[in-house]
Structure 1
């Protein structure tokens, strides 16, 4: 049975959601920056993938948006924050780098999968010229990536909503 201070991570690891003694000032700093103090991760990174999803969702109704999607390029967690206007970008990068290795591996696995899907769909869209084919690719990609964004959000927020093994095998 888990305590109120921890929840099982998708991989069965325990993630501390409450700071230990003496860690409250850091936890407060992380919370103020919209970084989960229990995981060291920030949901702001998911905006990078949500942008791609938004562009993909527009393609069936506005085929010219395919060009906007094709201009999207993957960014690592560090690259995203370095390029962003996020106020606490250095803190976000430091918290990510010092996050539990297992939690970070679960998170990186999902974000790597999203990046692979989006990159492959972009490559396929570059090969085809028919709007209908591009729309089909866009719809398929959003169906694959949206659940992964939700799973990544679950990991960021402590793993309560993410079952990584299930999502990655279905």
Structure 2
């Protein structure tokens, strides 16, 4: 029984019929037919669309708290669930390619997605709980969660496309550390100094150039954009 058949038998979601195909057996053949599948890893960045949408919604909700209600129905979907529900005509091939992913790559990818799911679901739950309790949620708190989700997305994207699409692991760790530090400290900052004046551009420049800035240099924007090409 194929991975697709196992999924369709166990899932509570309706599975659309896969498109007719001759059944390419190799990862290279699938990647040649479905251009969103990486021929080396067998994975597709399209899977991350659900998390990119969450990150964008969080950024919008930071400026419009009413949009937090849109998060109530958000929940991560598995690789199979995401593509089965996508309406993509070759979704079954994409799932088959995932099954052909080299085991060591798939294990690392699955672990990264578990982290991403944990970050996203725990963060969304915290925001919704605070909102339902009538707490004042500062925009910095919501932006911080969006940044943490985006850091996890970038890590997962590197695994999908091959680690060489990212900078060093230290740079990835820096993305996580900065987002986590901002997330843990932003709520306290929002409550303690709600009327604080924004830092001046001159002060921001000084902070950027301060000790340690060179040590945790992040990916340049071109490298990040390349992950989603």
- TM-score normalised by L of structure 1: 0.76
Deviation at 1:144, TM superposition (A): 1.0
Distance 1:29-1:97 versus aligned 2 partners, 3 A rule = closer
For 1:62-84, what per-residue CA distance to the aligned partner results, in whole angstroms no more than 9, with x for missing partners?
A: 11111112221111111111111
Unaligned runs of 5+ in 2: 1-23, 178-229
Q: Deviating runs (4+, > 6 A) in structure 1?
A: none
Structure number with bigger Rg: 2
Q: SS state of the match for residue 40, structure 2? A: coil
Superposition pairs of residues 2-151 of structure 1, within 5 angstroms = 27-33=28-34, 34-129=36-131, 130=134, 132-133=136-137, 135-151=139-155
Deviation at 1:116, TM superposition (A): 0.5
Paired positions, count: 148
Unaligned runs of 5+ in 1: 1-22
Q: Structure 1: how far apart are the matches of 2:27 and 2:91?
A: 15
Question: Greater relative contact order (Cα 8 A, min sep 6): structure 1 or 2?
Answer: 1
Are the counterparts in 2 of residues 45 and 81 from structure 1 also a CA contact under 8 Å? Answer: yes
Deviation at 1:157, TM superposition (A): 1.1
Q: SS state of the match for residue 65, structure 2? A: coil
Q: Structure 2: how far apart are the matches of 1:106 and 1:138?
A: 28
Are the counterparts in 2 of residues 45 and 80 from structure 1 also a CA contact under 8 Å? Answer: yes
Of 90-99 and 31-40, more deviation after overlay is shown by: 31-40
For 1:94-137, what per-residue CA distance to the aligned partner results, in whole angstroms no more than 9, with x for missing partners?
A: 11012111111111111111111111112112221257416343
Q: SS state of the match for residue 133, structure 1? A: coil
Q: SS state of the match for residue 160, structure 1? A: helix
Deviation at 1:165, TM superposition (A): 5.1
For 1:27-81, what per-residue CA distance to the aligned partner results, in whole angstroms no more than 9, with x for missing partners?
A: 2541441101110001100101101101101012111111112221111111111
Q: Structure 2: how far apart are the matches of 1:50 and 1:138?
A: 15
Are the counterparts in 1 of residues 48 and 153 from structure 2 also a CA contact under 8 Å? Answer: yes
Are the counterparts in 1 of residues 27 and 42 from structure 2 also a CA contact under 8 Å? Answer: no
Are the counterparts in 2 of residues 121 and 137 from structure 1 also a CA contact under 8 Å? Answer: no
